[in-house]
Structure 1
């Protein structure tokens, strides 16, 4: 399908210039206008009528659905989305599903009634339910932090496999071999990808599999606390624990404290997400940081581009790299003497 970008490339102008020519929103030099129209004719480009309708009706409202508005990670994604909406002249309608499929469906329905121009859906989600809900929508949708099978919906997420590898490599480089891992819920793409990357790095390092403990959590502080309490009560307790989000890492640190252990002298801890408050944990949290701002900004940009007809057809599945932020919660094995 021919897009506005194709027209711009052939005419040798910017996409915004093509948009101004087709929509009459700004005066353009006659020779430039002629070049654009010749490119339109040559490529057989047909403007996106839905986008024109949106502009005529003055729809500058986007929707954002998150699983839990109280989770700092989702709150920071929402802030990044809101900041980008403001920069691009859009308002934002936000809803939290509370981890309940029916509430998520109702939120999407309400946004449709409010005539949002597009919806950004973040996080945990319910693959079968979301596929059913989203397949009937006639507005652009972008998934953040996950992708739903073969559903033809744009997505943007971090490299969870690479992030899992990064956490394992950091602890291995510090000399740790007895390592615990607290996962998120199984069945969720990010959890399974992080675990896959973590275990791949462990296996490539030829660490005895019996030295590695894996316990499933639910991304909440309490589940991190419970998992760590179980691991730390064993005679062969781990010397390091990787928690697959920063909230569970906070729970792990609480369990270490209650077990009379010092972080990082007795136990190194690594989280995942890179939430801002991790700097203020005691000790400050070593974490695999997701590119939160880039994901939020990229989701808004893709929605707006689809609304305005600047992209059509091709589905975006963008994966952005994570980064390791080393702070006070991780240290070389034996640093406590």
Structure 2
């Protein structure tokens, strides 16, 4: 086999000639698209190393043992804070010499399974994953394959995988107490899906906050919004059908807050006057709506940075104990929780005579 490297940039044809194989075989080796005999694979890898072939990140990873890439699997159609999360992760990754491959899970477990496997096929060195409902088997598969993995944003009850997300219970309790302190005794709550840790913790925090404020718990004032704008709108519509509807509503995430705002506008309800509203998360538009929205702001950028820290820690010590990190949100008081001047039900019916 010749020892000189080509003076021009080497190609897969050069690799094939040096290894004595076809270009198709080289492609199968560097892309992992078909099994290749061990001796043939070694010949191809030796040719890649000898020529300094850099035309394919996967080829480089085969020789160096690392692609210097990490995968990020997250739903891009969800909360607006995802952009902030991705930006923080990319900055931390770049500072550590890594490139981020981003894939959209659509918050669907089967889609998540597909994108995770696609990221693994690209030889990512580790994975950051925002859990989709019912994704236990996906995480199990990653751990069984010893892929360094960090779950972020939505926490789970698992203790065998690194995780980072917001503290939910005390934060939601504080938000509830703030709303009750404005004079509200019937406080509606728009929750996420039942059985999801983040959603259940925020419901628990709301209940705890009511108790601390001396307000009895009333399950009929909780409506599921499924962490979506449409769900938030439907949940408010449900709450307004009650014989005694709430004078204030808390939404457990920013997408549902947007849905509540839309439904309130459709019914002619004035936020801060006819109906108080506060939300968990702090979207960019929170201080742009009228009146500005009171929120419990997640430390989204800090979550992204901490996720990268956990992943780099896992790279350095694959046998270290799994760690769960919870970061505290911050209450941002604005004008959307003003006193009620009229019944939300009366206003809603006036704006919708067919209801």
Q: What TM bracket, shorter-length normalisation?
A: 0.7 to 0.9
Q: 1:223 aligns with which of 214, 217, 231?
A: 231
Higher relative contact order (CA 8 A, sep 6+): 1
1:32 match: none
Are 1:257 and 2:265 an aligned pair?
Answer: yes
2:12 match: none
Q: Is the 8 A contact 2:194 2:200 kept in 1?
A: yes
Deviations 1:195-234 (A, max 9, x none): 0010011123331334960011111111111111222244
Measured at CA, do residues 303 and 174 of structure 1 come closer, stay the same or move farther in structure 2, by a change above 3 Å? same
Taking the aligned partners of 1:271 and 1:96, their CA distance within structure 2 comes to 25
2:327 match: 320
SS at match of 1:265: coil
Deviations 1:70-99 (A, max 9, x none): 531323222221222122221100111112
1:172 match: 180
Q: Is the 8 A contact 1:162 1:322 kept in 2?
A: no
Q: 2:153 aligns with which of 145, 161, 164?
A: 145
Q: Is the 8 A contact 1:131 1:151 kept in 2?
A: no
Are 1:302 and 2:310 an aligned pair?
Answer: yes
Taking the aligned partners of 2:268 and 2:75, their CA distance within structure 1 comes to 35
1:25 match: none
Q: 1:266 aligns with which of 264, 269, 274?
A: 274
Give 1:127 shift: 4.1
TM-score after normalising by structure 1: 0.77
SS at match of 2:81: helix
Query: How do 1:88-127 and structure 2 match up within 5 A?
Result: 88-127=96-135
Measured at CA, do residues 293 and 84 of structure 1 come closer, stay the same or move farther in structure 2, by a change above 3 Å? same
1:201 match: 209
Number of positions where the alignment pairs a residue of Structure 1 with one of Structure 2: 283
Q: Is the 8 A contact 1:101 1:129 kept in 2?
A: no
TM-score after normalising by structure 2: 0.73
Taking the aligned partners of 1:163 and 1:150, their CA distance within structure 2 comes to 21
Q: 1:238 aligns with which of 224, 243, 246?
A: 246
Point out the structure with max Rg over C-alpha.
2
* Long gaps (5+) in structure 1: 1-52
1:186 match: 194
SS at match of 1:115: coil
Taking the aligned partners of 1:85 and 1:125, their CA distance within structure 2 comes to 27
* Long gaps (5+) in structure 2: 1-60, 344-355
Deviations 1:57-80 (A, max 9, x none): 452111001133453132322222
RMSD after superposition? 2.4
Are 1:162 and 2:167 an aligned pair?
Answer: no
